[in-house]
Structure 1
Amino acid sequence: MNRQLKRCLASALLLGSAFSLNAAHAASPQDLKGTNVVLVHGAFADGSSWDKVIPLLEARGLHVVSVQNPLSSLADDTAATQRAIDQQTGPVVLVGHSWGGAVITQAGNGDRVKALVYVAALVPDSGESVNDLFKGMPATPGAREIKKDSANFLTLSTNGVVNDFAQDLPPAQARILAATQGPWFAGALDDKVGTAAWHKKPSWYLVANEDRMIDPHAEEAMAKQIGATTTHVDSSHVPMLSQPKAVADAIIAAASKVQ
């Protein structure tokens, strides 16, 4: 075999090896097709608050649905979430942000739900309301910016959104959140969870270290109480908007365990 032919064969072998390695690397992330993720937003928000997380989940083969909660009561929001769960085929990872944590705690008891993921979320126990969680605790900076209207619905001031709810987002984006927020019925804070799903379902919790709506120490305490696999992210109350990869990673970790 002449020298030139040997060089050609060696180059072809090297190219083939590199191609095989690249293909293996591209295929290495686990395909999570067949698992569903149902995302439940919190107060002062809507389903679009997950728009940066959804593509990251879909890239892993997950089927994703974002619930549109009426924010009128725990029962109403649970019903909206339950309808979304019922539409899925296969296992469901149920994810809740903020007030959505109370919703998934109530809605996550069905057999189809295999894991719960809490994102800077409220996690009541059975027979407990959100107001019960914080009895005797000082108000956070963001909570002091909540306003109540004549119909007993709560909104967050623009100042509160920009400085306390989403302080790590560009101010222009935070002002859009303020303008499009969903009013929250104040009576929902006294609605008590029936059976807390986290007693029987594996749970994950993402603590937002710079949260000014829920004290991060309270988040840590709730995560510990439910025995959650816990991660921390340096973000405001809305890590799904400011740190979407960290949120997606927590959801993917849960989805990987229920396959």
Structure 2
Amino acid sequence: MLTPIAAKAEPVKNVVLVHGAFADGAGWRDVYDKLTERGYNVKIVQNPLTSLDDDVAATNRLLDLQNGPTILVGHSWGGTVITEAGIHPKVAGLVYVSALSPDAGETSAQQYDGFAPTPDFVLEVGKDGFGFIKRDKFKQGFAHDVSDAQAAFMGDSQVPINMSSFSTKLKNAAWRSRPSWAVIATEDKAFDQAMLVHMAERIGAKVTKVSASHALFLTRATEIADTIDGAAKSLASN
């Protein structure tokens, strides 16, 4: 009598990276390089940061192009985006990089309730409702572990976000149906550390902590790529 062989899960070789507010997809370059060197097909979303719906639509356009199961990765505000977009049928797992992770029916702004303020992370909001990080606070609040020259460039090339996005209720919470991983920067000045830990624990994420600023997508590319690679291999072995 033949013994049936359990089917192995399909290998996960696709990764979609989603940036956060005040940045763009170019910040993922080192993570991209490290993943493509390992044979992954990597695509990077360019969020318009005009609304949650617009950012989710931009993410879904790239997910539609994937040829198999995909790891969806979000930094900061990008965590809200992947939480909403991650119900896409091609998404196999989620990686949160010092990222927001609201539940369905919650807003991103509600994630901050009950946690300590972040005095080094100072925003200036224009009459049109779009916010920037205050220029003279950029390095201190966002990227204190990069060079002065790099911080200056990042501060001068900020992509503002429509602040109303943080008050938009999510319709879906993909972490309820997809396995999740989280990389937390222990020197993050954009979020209270207790808030980051609470969010990761609430979604049941496997957590990796790294000594870094909120710009860990730049300064801790190796650890982030390792986490994504580990997630992909874990899903393929199930």
Structure 2 length-normalised TM: 0.92
Separation in 1, partners of 2:228, 2:152: 28
Separation in 2, partners of 1:37, 1:82: 13
**Cα pair 2:12 2:233 within 8 Å, conserved:** no
Cα deviation digits, residues 122-142 of structure 1 (max 9, x gap): 110111111111134342124
Aligned Cα root-mean-square deviation (Å):
1.3
After TM superposition, where is structure 1 displaced by more than 6 Å over at least 4 residues in a row? none
Cα deviation digits, residues 4-57 of structure 1 (max 9, x gap): xxxxxxxxxxxxxxxxxxxxxxxxxxxx98611000000000000101111100
Q: Does 1:160 align with 2:142?
A: no
Separation in 1, partners of 2:168, 2:116: 21
User: 1:127 is paired with a residue of what secondary structure?
Assistant: coil
Cα deviation digits, residues 182-235 of structure 1 (max 9, x gap): 010010010111110000100000010000001122111111101101000000
**Cα pair 2:116 2:192 within 8 Å, conserved:** no
Report matched runs for 1:34-183 at 5 Å. Answer: 35-143=13-121, 145-183=122-160
**Cα pair 1:97 1:120 within 8 Å, conserved:** yes
Q: Structure 1 residues 126, 34: closer, same or farther in 2, change over 3 A?
A: closer
Bigger relative contact order, structure 1 or 2, given CA contacts below 8 A and separation 6+? 2
Output the amino acid matched with 1:42.
G
Output the amino acid matched with 1:186.
M
Separation in 2, partners of 1:34, 1:131: 33
**Cα pair 1:117 1:204 within 8 Å, conserved:** yes
Separation in 2, partners of 1:68, 1:62: 19
Gaps of 5+ in 2: 1-9
Aligned equivalent of 2:228: 251
Number of residues of Structure 1 aligned to a counterpart in Structure 2: 227
Gaps of 5+ in 1: 1-31
Q: Does 1:201 align with 2:178?
A: yes
Report matched runs for 1:227-242 at 5 Å. Answer: 227-242=204-219
Q: Structure 1 residues 233, 153: closer, same or farther in 2, change over 3 A?
A: same
User: 1:53 is paired with a residue of what secondary structure?
Assistant: helix
- Between structure 1 and structure 2, the one with the greater Rg is 1
Separation in 2, partners of 1:117, 1:150: 34
Output the amino acid matched with 1:246.
E
Q: Structure 1 residues 188, 142: closer, same or farther in 2, change over 3 A?
A: farther
User: 2:47 is paired with a residue of what secondary structure?
Assistant: coil
**Cα pair 2:115 2:192 within 8 Å, conserved:** no
Separation in 1, partners of 2:117, 2:136: 16
Output the amino acid matched with 2:146.
L
Separation in 2, partners of 1:231, 1:135: 24
Separation in 2, partners of 1:61, 1:153: 38
